[in-house]
């Protein structure tokens, strides 16, 4: 039985921290379970993915649980143990535990009137369950009519994926005479107003207006909230008509929810909301957006970047590039459409027949450790296929080489494998290969930084090929005893002077050996498929049980890792690893300690 204790969390994309705690399990380890709650008036961000069939199996004989608890019941033994302290025996005769898992949810607020499930989504890496906890409206009786804690039991298909339960708090309509509120939205300034949900496309501008009826009472407050926005969105409400209406641009795929609340002089409230759904359109897309920023952040202060998709058909000299910025007078390829917003770029690829494209991002300005993190994801057939983020420090002019995308599937088709010696032609304890040393832009690929306990590290970000024409994204080959190490011994800690890049290339061509390989691409894995993007559960399933431990960070704050020989799988934190988080980087060392 997997269970958690419920911990209050606010929406991550609204700038609040997400907390979760995993309680001890009484049975064999199962899928991790985490619960996230949002304040009244805010709505949990819905993941993009495939709907999961579910069935509410809530019945009166399940009431009376002695404490607030969320748990996954995977067997009859789990069921009997969970309901052992109930005043009456709850029956499970209709449940086939060979096919189904039961999610038992008992919330801790006796003032709630109900708990119900709205939808369940599988986003590829986890199952997300969305619940609503209802509270009485203004002037209504607080009595819920429930015997004990509000609860919901849910039957889900069996899965080994982590389960995240998102609980939104909603207030029922007021009892007695209250402020009336109606919300209408439309697409553009000449669209048709609708009081229901609105379908939109990325690039549309949505306008919403509120009609407030307070009778003879004075209206003392009107509050607009963008209660829900998709992952990566930086859109903000723009107020019009003295606060009677708002507008906002749809900048990324996903769901947006506009909420308005009006209060009169007697503190009676009226609430209305509208859902705007920018569903993933048919076709293949590459979407670039940002993460790790506050809701109040100014997108104009984010690093300046350009998303590119270069056609891989034909000789290199004849290949066309799709991006926002093209050379003066150049025409955009017919197979590419581009949409941009304040901090997002969307490329639609539609070649006939479907093609292959090298996807990369060019940094036009520097990215520091404290900057927002750039993320790129591919979408096809209405769902997210792959997603990756770049948290590296980048100099202006640097290129993040992400990989080659196959338009037919929306996935990246390049892949390389870890071996005891290294990755493809990059081998530990050996000089860089002649092919790498001959690269004309090797100087531009030089990177020098500090890691662990202020130890200097320097090397080259390299794209490797393996298996014919398969293109694999960058890895960082760190060399031993280069010019940065010598500079550090003479002058102490500090940023590397630009002149060291040229000296490093000369030293590498003279035979400097690779001491470490840093991999931050999900397309460089072990033969069993483990790498960036793997979970602790997946690693333990293939390598045997692994216990994460804290290590000095490679570049930044302390992180967490598990090892397999000279390979280290790193997570952001140990809590993140245990919570179903994913490997952020893989490090191979010539002489692991």
pLDDT > 70: percent of the chain: 85
Q: What is the mean pLDDT of residues 68-87?
A: 89
Q: How many CB atoms lie within 10 A of CB 176?
A: 9
Cα separation, 133 vs 140, in Å, equals: 16
Q: What is the pLDDT of residues 73-82, one digit of tens each?
A: 999 999 999 9
Of 465, 467, 447, the C-alpha closest to 457 is 447
Cα separation, 173 vs 565, in Å, equals: 60
pLDDT number for residue 12 = 30
Range with lowest mean pLDDT among 168-182, 280-294, 309-323: 168-182
Q: What is the pLDDT of residues 110-127, one digit of tens each?
A: 778 889 999 998 877 789
Output the six-digit token pair for 563.
């090892």
Cα separation, 376 vs 287, in Å, equals: 6
* Average pLDDT, rounded, for the chain: 81
Interacting residues of 362 by C-beta distance below 8 A, sequence separation 6+: 305, 306, 308, 397, 398, 399, 400
Cα separation, 547 vs 563, in Å, equals: 9
Q: Exposure string (b/e) for 389-406, b if CB count within 10 Å is 16 or more?
A: bbbbebeeebbbbbbbbb
Task: State the pLDDT confidence band at 185, using cuts at 50, 70 and 90.
Answer: very high
8 Å CB contact between 187 and 206:
yes
8 Å CB contact between 245 and 208:
yes
Distances 572 to 30, 197, 227, 583 between C-alpha atoms, Å: 22, 38, 28, 8
Q: What is the pLDDT of residues 5-23, one digit of tens each?
A: 343 333 232 222 222 222 3
pLDDT number for residue 31 = 64
Q: HSE (CB half, 13 Å, CA atoms) of 18?
A: 18
Interacting residues of 342 by C-beta distance below 8 A, sequence separation 6+: 234, 235, 249, 251, 299, 300
Place of tokens 């429930």: 146
- SS3 of 494-528: the string is CCCCCCHHHHHHHHHHCCCEEEEEEECCCCEECCC
Place of tokens 């350009």: 306
| DSSP line for 130-172 | EEEEEEPPTT-------SSS-EEEEEEE--SS-EEEEEEEEEP
The DSSP output letter for 26 is S
Cα separation, 343 vs 233, in Å, equals: 8
Cα separation, 529 vs 24, in Å, equals: 29
Q: What is the mean pLDDT of residues 367-378?
A: 87
Of 488, 13, 520, 538, the C-alpha closest to 255 is 13
The bridge status of strand 198-199 relative to strand 238-240 is unpaired
Output the six-digit token pair for 291.
């993460």
| E runs forming strands in 214-354 | 219-228, 238-240, 245-249, 254-264, 269-278, 284-291, 305-311, 321-323, 336-340, 345-349
Task: State the pLDDT confidence band at 38, using cuts at 50, 70 and 90.
Answer: confident
Of 73, 43, 53, the C-alpha closest to 120 is 53
Of 104, 92, 90, the C-alpha closest to 33 is 104
Of 403, 368, 399, the C-alpha closest to 556 is 368
Higher pLDDT among residues 457 and 10, named by residue: 457
Cα separation, 496 vs 484, in Å, equals: 7
pLDDT number for residue 305 = 93
Reply yes or no: is the peptide bond before residue 353 cis, omega within 30 of 0: yes
User: Could you give phi then psi for residue 54, rounded to 5 degrees?
Assistant: -145, 165
pLDDT number for residue 529 = 83
Q: What is the mean pLDDT of residues 387-402?
A: 82
Instruction: Compute the residue count for the chain.
Output: 593
Place of tokens 């570049």: 555
């Amino acid at each position: 039985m997997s269970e958690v204790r419920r911990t209050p969390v606010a929406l991550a994309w609204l700038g609040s921290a997400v907390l979760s705690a995993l309680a001890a399990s009484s049975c064999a380890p199962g899928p991790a379970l985490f619960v996230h709650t949002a304040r009244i008036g805010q709505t949990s961000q819905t993941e993009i993915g495939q709907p999961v069939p579910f069935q509410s199996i809530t019945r009166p004989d399940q009431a009376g649980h002695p404490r607030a608890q969320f748990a996954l019941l995977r067997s009859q033994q789990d069921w009997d143990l969970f309901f052992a302290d109930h005043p009456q025996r709850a029956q499970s005769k209709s449940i086939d535990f060979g096919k189904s898992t039961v999610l038992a949810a008992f919330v801790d607020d006796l003032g709630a009137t109900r708990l119900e499930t709205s939808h369940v989504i599988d986003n590829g890496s986890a199952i997300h369950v969305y619940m609503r906890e209802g509270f009485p409206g203004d002037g209504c009786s607080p009595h819920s009519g429930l015997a004990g804690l509000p609860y919901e039991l849910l039957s889900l298909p069996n899965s080994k994926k982590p389960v995240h339960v998102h609980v939104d708090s909603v207030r029922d309509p007021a009892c007695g005479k209250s402020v009336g509120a109606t919300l209408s939205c439309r697409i553009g300034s000449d669209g048709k107003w609708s009081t229901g949900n609105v379908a939109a496309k990325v690039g549309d501008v949505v306008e919403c207006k509120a009609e407030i009826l307070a009778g003879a009472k004075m209206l003392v407050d009107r509050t607009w909230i963008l209660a829900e926005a998709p992952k990566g969105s930086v859109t903000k409400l723009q107020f019009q008509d003295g606060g009677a209406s708002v507008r906002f641009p749809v900048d990324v795929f996903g769901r947006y929810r506009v909420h308005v609340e009006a209060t009169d002089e007697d503190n009676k409230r009226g609430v209305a909301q509208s859902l705007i759904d920018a569903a993933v359109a048919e076709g293949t897309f590459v979407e670039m957006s940002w993460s790790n920023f506050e809701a109040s952040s100014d997108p104009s202060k984010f690093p300046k970047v350009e998303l590119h998709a270069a056609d891989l058909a034909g000789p290199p000299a004849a290949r066309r590039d799709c991006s926002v910025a093209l050379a003066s007078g150049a025409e955009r390829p017919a197979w590419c459409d581009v949409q941009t917003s304040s901090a997002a770029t969307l490329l639609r690829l539609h070649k006939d027949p479907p093609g292959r494209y090298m996807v990369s991002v060019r940094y036009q300005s520097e990215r520091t450790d404290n900057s927002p993190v750039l993320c790129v994801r591919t979408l096809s057939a209405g769902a997210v296929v792959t997603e990756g983020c770049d948290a590296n420090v980048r100099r202006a002019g640097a290129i993040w080489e992400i990989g080659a995308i196959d338009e037919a599937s929306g996935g990246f088709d390049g892949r390389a494998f870890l071996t005891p010696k290294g990755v493809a032609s990059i081998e530990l304890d050996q000089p860089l290969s002649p092919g790498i040393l001959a690269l004309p832009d090797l100087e531009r690929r030089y990177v020098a930084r500090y890691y662990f306990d202020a130890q200097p590290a320097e090397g080259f970000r390299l794209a490797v090929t393996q298996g014919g024409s398969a293109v694999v994204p960058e890895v960082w080959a760190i060399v031993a005893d280069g010019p940065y190490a010598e500079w550090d011994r003479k002058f102490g800690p500090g940023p590397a002077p630009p002149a060291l890049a040229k000296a490093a290339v000369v030293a590498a061509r003279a035979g400097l050996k690779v001491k470490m390989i840093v991999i931050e691409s999900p397309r460089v894995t072990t033969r069993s498929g483990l790498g960036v993007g793997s979970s602790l559960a997946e690693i333990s399933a293939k390598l045997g049980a692994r216990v994460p431990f804290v290590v000095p960070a490679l570049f930044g704050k302390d992180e967490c890792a598990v090892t397999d020989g000279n390979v280290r799988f790193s997570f952001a934190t140990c809590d993140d690893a245990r919570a179903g988080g994913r490997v952020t980087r893989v490090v191979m060392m010539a002489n692991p300690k």
